[in-house]
Amino acid sequence: MDVACGREVTDLHVFLQAWLTGTVPRDAATFARFGDVICDSFLIISPLGTITDRAALLPEFEASHGVLAPQAADFRIWIENCRCVRSLGDRALVLYEEWHSLGDATSARLTTALFERHPAAPNSVTWAHVHETWLPGHAPAAGERYPEPAPG
């Protein structure tokens, strides 16, 4: 399960970059790559302390398709230092760094993610919980909207 979780972390973030830059189609079949791996009880805690559940996250992220299309050549997401912290039966806790760059600006967050085994999912795991915090010295200077939910 450790290998499957690491592969899922990488694969999903490749998808996130493609979705935000609009380099994949905006249709239900493509978006299913995201929605189908998010557990019904999913929660994400952003680096700013915002708690978002699946019901709020999915429409917000679906609407973000192509928002970075004009900067697609300058935007990148990558993962470093991904490792499984603990495996317990059908669950695994993974720790990784998520890096974003847009032009000359780079930010990074430290993320813990709880995965659950799900044989029908692309990498046989689904996302149950995510908690992010800025890496010291790598918070964005002017704030960062994604994956933050829209205000209001």
Task: Give the dihedral sign, CA 130/131/132/135.
Answer: negative
How many C-beta atoms surround the C-beta of residue 114 within 10 A? 21
Residues of the chain above pLDDT 90, percent: 86
Q: Which domains are delineated in the chain? A: 2-134 (3.10.450.50)
Q: Is the pLDDT of residue 27 over 80?
A: yes
Tens of pLDDT, residues 28-83 = 999 999 999 999 999 999 998 999 999 999 999 999 999 999 999 999 999 999 99
pTM (2 d.p.): 0.91
Q: Give the bridge partners for 95, in sequence order.
A: 83, 112
**Contact partners, residue 26, CB within 8 Å, separation at least 6:** 65, 66
**Contact partners, residue 67, CB within 8 Å, separation at least 6:** 20, 22, 146
